[in-house]
Amino acid sequence: MELLKKRILEDGRVEEGNILKVDNFLNHQLDIELLDAIGKEFAKLFADLGITRILTIEASGIAIASLTALQMKVPVVFAKKTQSRNLDKDTWDAEVFSFTKDTTYSVRVSKRYMDSNDKVLIIDDFLANGQACVGLKKIVENAGAELMGVGIVIEKSFQKGASILEEAGVNLKSLARLASIHDGQIEFVD
């Protein structure tokens, strides 16, 4: 997606540990016009699959999932990272290992909001080592639902997430694919 790649080159900042900061349009301040274009692109890429729900993970996935859902006219469910009193006790759970934080945390979705009738599209901001998406995929499987695809805004193709998902037979579509981010230089795969 050319508009997104242009924005990454203009505003992306490469930080230590192979981290790309895109805080001024995706991860902190939100550029809703750009996110709207992203939502339209995902809706086009995953059209005609009979998707009934979009699943994402709090917090950064929620905005893009919402703008995609607006186009697809389906609800968004976001997996919660904390157990709170507001959340139903009966949940589908999965463990996620975070390489950036070097910790494991649980994510959960109320059983009210996913079941075996669902055809699910997972949406997230970044794909790095794939652990967040693998956790969400597990929730879909535990619910007996069908995973129709995974839509990623920025795939770091030099990390192993994309191959993990592709080897698992996942229909993965990423809008920008980074080949490398060495020495502050951002290179795209295509």
Indicate the residue type of 46: F
Indicate the residue type of 152: I
* 60 forms part of the interface with ligand 5GP (CB under 6 A): yes
Collapsed DSSP state (helix, strand, coil) of residue 185: coil
- Count the neighbouring beta carbons within 10 Å of the beta carbon of residue 104: 11
Shortest distance (Å) from residue 147 CB to ligand 5GP: 16
What x-and-dash track marks residues 90-129 binding ligand 5GP by CB under 6 A?
A: ---------xx-----------------------xxxxxx
Alpha-carbon distance of 54 to 151, in angstroms, equals 10
Shortest distance (Å) from residue 116 CB to ligand 5GP: 26
What x-and-dash track marks residues 148-187 binding ligand 5GP by CB under 6 A?
A: --------x----x--------------------------
- In sequence order, the 6+-apart residues with CB closer than 8 A to the CB of 47 are none
Largest CA distance in the chain: 47
What x-and-dash track marks residues 19-58 binding ligand 5GP by CB under 6 A?
A: xxxx----x-------------------------------
User: What letter does residue 50 receive in the DSSP assignment?
Assistant: -
Q: Which residues bind ligand 5GP (CB under 6 A)?
A: 19-22, 27, 60, 99-100, 124-132, 156, 161
